[in-house]
Amino acid sequence: MERTTPKRSARISRPGDKTAAKRIAEKPPKAASTPKSNKSAKPKLLSGGNPQIAKADGDAPVQDYIAAMPGWKRDVGRRLDSLIVRTIPGVRKAVRWNTPFYGIDGQGWFLAFHCITKYIKVTFFRGTSLRPVPPVESKIKDVRYFHIHEDGTFDEELMANWIRQAANLPGENCF
């Protein structure tokens, strides 16, 4: 048995019928839609000014994150990224959970950083194994943090030493 749908009767417009004219004016014909690129849209800033960047692998999403960091944090983000790349050539990069991650292929992630309201939090996933141990404790057993505040000063030699040590340890495979 073939199923048919009832035909809709067309409403005939009469001269002076304002409702038909109103319906026509309200519904313009649909134009062919073109996909909009999100490249021109600025990322949303989340709590603490942390940029919202989609999960992705590679340098490009990390650079997008850094470019979206607010104010003084952007310059510090560039310095950190440059220092990590100089210290560990061929470092693997990704953005996860609105945070840039750095790691070694086959070994996992050793470092990440994140914008907090008044500082940038640099996370060393095996931080308790670093010497000297980074100063800020975590609730997570092996993790240690280093905070960079608005003056942007930090000992790049010490940071490079921590980065080298961290890259030589088994990394975190958190995803």
**Structure-token pair, residue 83:** 């220092």
* pLDDT for residue 90 is more than 70: yes
* Averaged confidence pLDDT in the chain: 83
Q: What is the mean pLDDT of residues 136-160?
A: 95
Strand order in the sheet with 108-116: 56-57, 92-96, 99-104, 108-116, 119-124, 144-149, 136-137
pLDDT tens digit string along 6-47? 555 445 545 555 555 454 445 444 444 444 444 556 778 776
CA dist 70 and 48 (Å) reads 10
Where helices occur in 46-104 by DSSP H, the ranges are 59-68, 72-87
What is the pLDDT, as a whole number, of residue 44? 80
Buried residues in 146-173 as b, exposed as e (16+ CB within 10 A) = bebeeeeebeeeebeebbebbbebebbe
Residue-level pLDDT at 170: 85
pLDDT digits (tens, 9 = 90+) for 49-83: 788 898 999 999 999 999 999 999 999 999 999 99
Q: Which residues pair with 104 in a beta bridge?
A: 108
Domains of the chain with bracketed CATH: 47-167 (3.90.1150.200)
pTM of the model: 0.74
